Structures are given as C-alpha cells and as structure tokens.
Structure 1
Amino acid sequence: MAPTCLLCWVCSLLCVLSVVMGHPCSLDHQLFSQGWANCSGKSLQHAPGSLPRNITSLDLSFNSLVMPHHRTLLKHFPSLHSLNLSSNAKLTLSPTVFSNLGALRLLDLSSCSITYIHTDTFKGLGNLHTLLLRNNSLQELDVTFLLPLKALFHLDLQHNALVSVDTGSLQLMETVPQVHLEGNPWVCDCSVHPLQQWLRRRRAVQVTCVLPPGLRGQEIAALDSQDLGCQIKQRFARELSTPQPITVTENNTTALPAGKGGRSWPYLVGFLVTAIGISILIALAAKCKLVHKNFASYRHRPLPEISSIGGRHMEDSSSWDRGSCGSHSITDAADLQAEDDDGFIEDNYIQPSEQLPTKEERELHRSI
C-alpha cells in the first residue's frame, strides 16, 4: 500500500514539474487549487497554451500580446474569472475577442493605448463585474459597447483623452453603479451641461475642467450657467434623470431611446388644427358681416322709378308751354314734394335739369 501511494505522489510531482517547465509563467502553489497563473513581463506575444485549463486567474500584463482578428483570445481557458491584460502596448480589440470567457468577472485593459472600442468587443461577457479602461487614449465615448455587459458594476475610464460626452452615452452609463471619469481633459462649455447634471446626481468629485484656461482645475459639478457661458434649459435635466429602456435585437442592432424628433408629430397636428380653426372663424365672421350689410340695405322702401318722375316733369313743361298753369301745376308740385319726402330720395339724387321750375320761372311763363 505504501509503495503505491509513493508512486502516485511521484507521478503527480512529475506532472506539476512538466507543466511548470513547459511555459514561462509561474504558478502560485498556495493558490494552485484555485488556478492562479502569473505571466507578467515575459515578453509574450501569445498566451501560452501549456497552462492548466482549470485556472481561474491569469496575469498577462507587461507583455507584447498580439490580439487575434478572427478568433477568440484564450479559447482554452473558459473558467477564467480574472484576466489582466494591462500595459500591453498597442493592444487592438477586435469584435467578439472575449466571447468564450463567459465566466469572466474582472477584465483589466489599463495602459494599452486603446483608441477605439468596437460595439461587439465585449460580446459574451454577461457576467463581467469590473472593467478597467484607465490610462488609454479614448477620445470619444461611444459606450454602446456596454450593452452586452448586463452585470457590470464598476467602470473605470480615468485618464483618457475624453473632452465631451453625449446624452446617449450618459443614459447608458446610468445602469452602471460606479463610473470613474476623473483625469480627462474635459472642455467646459455649453456641451458639458449634460455631464454636469449627471455628475451632480452621482455626487462625483474631482472631475475638473481643463479647457478653457480660465476654468482649469474647477469641478464641473460646481459650475453654473454663467460660468459655462450659455443659457441652460431646465427641461433637459428632467429628461436625463429618467433613464429610458435600451433594447438589443437579435441581429445586434441597438434601439436607442427615442428623442424629441419622434414626438414632434403631435405638435405639427396641433398647429394644423389651430390654423384651420382660425381660418374657419375668420370666414364665418366675414360672412356674417356681409349678411348683416345686405339685410340692412333691404330695410328701406324701394325708390320710385325714374321714368315716372321724368314723364311727369315733361307733362308739366308742356302744360307751361300751352299757358295752362295755376292751381293744377301748384297741386302737382305739392304732390311731387310729398313724393320726395315719402320716397327717402337722397340729396342731389335728381339732377338740376330735372328740378321743378321756381316762382320766377312761373311768373315769366305767365307773362308770355
């Protein structure tokens, strides 16, 4: 029994020695049961494939790793919980490079001169808890790469080259409890207001301005609208304070929150309805005024016909020519005067040529 146990112990020791001698990494014997391997500073370009497959922690920092373009990294280590890739110069992150590390909880990509992160770079890391991206060269913060990271709790973006951040990125970061943005060269103008409101809600400190020079070193959260040199709309903070749902479809297209453009049609419909209503009211008012004017014009009695008045004047003239005047002509003149009063004839309606003869003209006709 004793020789058998001794033989087993020798075999296991030889296996361990062969594993250790087959790669440049060091294994912690106290943590070997947990699978911890240290490959830091070994000038490696690829991860050694001779490491035990059951390791849960791997340190590949301070190397010269070349990331694969069309396949995954560390495909032989699906049990990794912690991966340190920091200080690998010019590390290029291709899409789905970590997709086989579904159990990973900590990923350190600090000091790797990263300038761009693809949307699908972290696809498959649904259990990732901590993502460290500090001391890189990120100039724009398009954080759609956070969409696959459903369990992310800690995001470190300190000391990059960020100068501004858009509203959509801030809304995506609302789901991450701990976000660090210190040490970036933030430009404090009107565009920094969304970030300012976001920092105030998070009670973040030490996020300071770099430009303009007059605001260098001042905390962004402590600035007011006069310092930023623009008029701030208070409505923006209310919209930003409520994170909107973001969905991902099967073909990996991202449906971001609907902006104001999607809610503009009710305002357009309201404007058209108001314009049509005002036009109808104006048309009705004009029509009522015209009807009132026509109704008022028909309230008077109709005027006497011009032909009858002209004929009577001609008869009076003929009677004067024949020398037959007197009581008959006086009666006609009185009747005509009565007709004028009853017919509501306006002044100057009868032409001067059609007026009745005066007293002097009648005397002249009598003498003749």
Structure 2
Amino acid sequence: MAPASVLGVCSLLWSWAAVTGHPCSIDSQGWANCNGKRLLYAPSSLPRNITSLDLSFNSLVMPSHGTLLMHFPSLRSLNLSSNALLTLYPSMFSNLGALHLLDMSNCSISYLHTEAFKGLENLHTLLLKNNSLQELEVSFFLPLVALFHLDLQNNALISMDTLILQLMETVPQVQLEGNPWVCDCTTRPLQQWLQRRQAVQVTCASPPELQGQDITALNFQDLGCKKKQRFPRADNMTLPLTTVTQNNATAPAAGKGGRSWPYLVGFLVAAVSISILVALAAKCKLFHKNFASYRHRPLPDTSSIGGSHMEESTSWDRGTSGRGDSESHPMPGAGGLHAEDDDGFIEDNYIQPSEQLQEEEERESHLSI
C-alpha cells in the first residue's frame, strides 16, 4: 500500500511538472532539482511547499531590490553554487526564515552587502568557498545567530579584524584555508584565534620568506614584531553590538580627542603645585623676617647706666663714713671707680700728704689723753 502511494505522488508531481512546463525535477520529499538548466530566474511554477531547491550551474540574475525567491517559505536548503552572482544585495533572503543551509560556492562573489543575510536567523550552514571576498564586515554576521558551520576557503582574505574573530568564536566550525594571508605583526590576533581553535593548517601567502608556513607555528620575530605586544583575546572582548547598525557596518572608531584629558589634568596639577610652593616660599620668607626682628634688643641707655653708677658710689661713701678710723681709708679701687665715672679727670682739691700726717698725729694725741 505504501509503495503504491509513493508512486502515485511521484507520478502526480511529474505530471504536474510536465503540465506546467518547468524544467526542474521534484522528488517525493519535496526536493526540486534545477541544476544546469540555464535559468535566469527561479521557476515560479514550482510548488510552494518544497523544502530543498538546487539552482546550481545556471545563469541567475540577482535582483538589486527585493528577494530572490518569492514564494517558498518552507525552503530549508538552497544551492546557488556556480552562478555568477558577483554581488549580494540587501534582503535577498529575507523571506526564507526557515532556511538551514545556503550554498554560494564558486559564485565569484566579491562584495557582500551589510544586509545580505537579513532574515536568516535559523541558518545553520553557510558555504562561501571559492569566491573573491577580500574582507568581512561585522554587521552582515549579526543576523546569523544560529550559524554552526562557516566555509570561507579559497577567497582573497589577507587579514582578519579582531571583531570578526570575536563573532566567529560563537561558530563551532570555521574553515579559512586557501586564503592569501599576509603574515606580519597584525596577524597575531588571527594566530591566537587559530591556536585556541586548533584548526587545520592555515598557511601564509606572503611575505615570500614565510610562504607556505603554518601561521600557528610562527613567533614574534617571524611576524616582524619589534617587541612582545599584548593583543586582546577575542573570547574576552565585549563587542559593542549596540553601536553597529544595519546601515553602517563600520565599527565606531575611538576618538582622538579623548586622549587629551590626561595632559589637561597634568597641567592643572602642575599649576596648582607651583602656586602652593610660591605661597609657602613667601610665607617662609616673611616668617624669617619677623623672627629676626623679634630677636633684636634695644641698646641700653647711657644716661641710666651713668646714674646707676653714681648712686652706687654715693651709697658706698655713706657706708664708709659711719665706720671706725681703721675703715675710714678709701679703698684702692674706689679711686679707679671714680676715675672711670669721671671719665679720667682728677679733682684739684685732693688731700696733700703733709696735711694727712698732721691729722694722724692729732688723732694719736687725743687717743693718748
């Protein structure tokens, strides 16, 4: 019963194809084979519920606006290989939300629009080998959130941006062999990425002395790095996805104006430090000046010194006049003191020696009496 039903469905599909006149063959599982039919467009007469479509080895014309396949919402596999596509325009596959496999190998693709893969949220395998891609941009990878296998073999890639490498960290299977990689110091992020992934051998195409060598086996000197440089790890980087738009694929460049603030801060700190030092120097100079003036003492008044000496001499004379005869003789130093007080002048009325002898004789006579 089952074989008879399968044969019936197949005969119905073949008869329907013959009636509609499209050149494709359709099997019982809904796979349409339009390989090598010299088609310019996908036949609109194909059933809408087909799940696989092979349009390889044709001459398809890519629409610059709108979608390539209008009426196949259930399509899960699409083979466009060996068509001269050259350029993929935006939103070509936006109506193929259920697509899991997309093969665009050998299509001479040299440019991918940033929105070329828009709408392919469920795409599992993307084959882009044997094309002419020279660079990859960040934005056209953003819709491919479910991508598992990416084949970029035999393109014209010479280097890989760090952000692209970080996006490809989420893709378990990536093939990069056969590209003309330029092995210099900028290849260091790609080398680290390949070492972590333990991918198959990816070789250098230039410079000539490194041609054919495995990128993962090169050291800093081989890559032309003057000194050991620190490159950010792709798996530790945080990609600013919010800054990438679908209309502009270039990542925002770091502003050069933001680097001037350390110089401004340094200038302000230097100015404040110099001002503080000048103020401290001025205060220290004023302090020393005040301290020196405080230590100075006024000179003693000569008149007061002279008066004090006179008072001392007067009191000395009064003390000696009330004592005995033995103490009435002037002290030898008294004359010197008076001489100093009188500035070296000697009075005229000094006592003569003869008169002194008479007075002594008179005193002795009185004592004997």
**1:144 offset after TM fit, Å?**
1.9
Deviation at 1:274, TM superposition (A): 4.1
1:197 to 2:196 alignment: no
Query: 1:225–1:103: structure 2 CA closer, same or farther, 3 Å change rule?
Result: same
What residue is the counterpart of 2:95 in the other structure?
A: 100
- Residue 85 of structure 2 is aligned to residue 85 of structure 1: no
Q: List aligned pairs for 1:312-323, cutoff 5 A.
A: none
2:137 to 139, 142, 145: 142
Using the TM superposition, name which of 92-101 and 10-19 deviates more: 10-19
CA apart distance, 1:137: 0.3
TM superposition shift of 1:152: 1.1
Aligned AA for 1:221? T
Distance change in 2, residues 1:269/1:205 (3 Å)? farther
Deviation at 1:123, TM superposition (A): 0.5
The equivalences for 1:159-308 within 5 A come to: 159-231=154-226, 234-238=229-233, 241-247=236-242, 256=251, 264=259, 267=262, 271=266, 274-276=269-271, 278-301=273-296
Residues 263, 45 of structure 1: alpha-carbon distance in 2 compared, 3 angstrom cutoff: same
Q: SS at the partner of 1:44?
A: coil
Alignment equivalent of 1:132, drawn from 119, 124, 127: 127
Work out whether residues 137 and 250 of structure 2, in 8 Å CA contact, stay in contact via their aligned partners in 1.
no
Deviation by residue 1:310-340 (Cα, 9 ceiling, x = unmatched) = xxxxxxxxxxxxxxxxx99x96xxxxxxxxx
TM-score by length of 1: 0.70
| AA in 1 matched with 2:62 | M
Per-residue deviation, 1:167: 2.0
- Give 3-state SS (helix, strand or coil) of 2:187's partner: helix
CA distance in 1, matches of 2:244, 2:135: 24
What is aligned with 1:27? 26
State the secondary structure of the residue aligned to 1:237: coil
1:48-67 → structure 2 map (5 Å cutoff): 48-67=43-62
* Residues 246, 255 of structure 1: 8 Å contact kept: no
1:152 is matched with which residue: 130, 133, 147?
147
Partner of 2:323: none
Q: 1:279 Cα deviation (Å)?
A: 3.3
Aligned partner of 2:63 in structure 1 is: 68
C-alpha spacing 1:169/1:71, structure 2 compared with 1 (3 Å): same
Structure exhibiting the larger radius of gyration computed from Cα positions = 2
- Find the residue that maps to 2:87 and give its secondary structure: coil
After TM superposition, give the deviation of residue 298 of structure 1 in Å. Answer: 2.4
Letter in 2 for 1:25: C
Structure 1 residues 255 and 111, CA, compared in 2 at 3 Å: closer, same or farther?
Answer: closer
Summarize the Cα distance change of 1:199–1:13 in structure 2 as closer, same or farther, 3 Å threshold.
closer
Q: Give structure 2 stretches of 5+ with no counterpart.
A: 300-338, 344-369
Distance 1:162 1:118 in 2: 17
For 2:331, the equivalent position in structure 1 comes to none
Do the aligned partners of residues 10 and 59 (structure 1) sit closer, same or farther apart at CA in structure 2, a change above 3 Å counting?
Answer: closer
1:32-66 Cα shifts (integer Å, max 9, x gaps)? 2x310111111111111111111100111111100
| More displaced 10-residue stretch of structure 1: 261-270 or 17-26 | 261-270
| Matched-pair contact (CA < 8 Å) for 2:243–2:252 | no
Q: Measured at CA, do residues 98 and 239 of structure 1 come closer, stay the same or move farther in structure 2, by a change above 3 Å? A: closer
Q: Helix, strand or coil for the counterpart of 2:112? A: coil
**Residues 138 and 160 in structure 1, CA contact (< 8 A), matched pair in contact too:** yes
4+ runs deviating over 4 angstroms: 9-15, 248-270
Q: Deviations over 1:285-308 (max 9, x none)?
A: 43344334433542453899xxxx
**Paired position in structure 1 for 2:115:** 120
Calculate percent identity across the aligned residue pairs. 58
Structure 1 residue identity aligned to 2:22:
H
User: 1:18 is matched with which residue?
Assistant: 16
The residue type equivalent to 2:15 in the other structure is L
What CA deviation, in whole Å up to 9, does each residue of 1:126-151 have, x standing for no partner? 11111111110011222321011111
Structure 1: which amino acid aligns with 2:129?
R
- State the superposition RMSD in angstroms: 3.5
Q: Deviations over 1:168-204 (max 9, x none)?
A: 2222222322221111101111111221222222222
Q: Find the aligned partners of 1:251 and 1:188 in 2 and give their Cα distance.
A: 31
Once residues 163 and 46 of structure 1 are traced to their aligned partners in structure 2, the CA distance between those partners, rounded to angstroms, is: 34
Q: Which digits, 9 at most, give the CA deviation of each residue in 1:12-44, with x for residues without a partner? A: 94564132452111223xxx2x31011111111
Structure 1 residue ranges without an equivalent (≥5): 1-5, 305-326, 332-368
Contact 1:109/1:133 (CA < 8 Å) preserved in 2? yes
CA contact (8 A) 1:144 1:172 kept: no
Q: Which amino acid aligns with 2:179?
A: N
Q: How far apart are the structure 1 equivalents of 2:256 and 2:34?
A: 52
Change (3 A) 1:87 1:238: closer
1: distance between equivalents of 2:287 and 2:233?
A: 54
CA gap of 1:235–1:271, structure 2 versus 1, over 3 A, is farther
Q: 1:15 to 1:183 in 2, by over 3 A?
A: closer
Compared CA separation, residues 248 and 257, structure 1 to 2 (3 A): closer
Identify if the C-alpha distance between structure 1 residues 238 and 168 changes in structure 2 by more than 3 Å, giving closer, same or farther: closer
| Aligned match of 2:353 | none
Match of 2:324 in 1: none
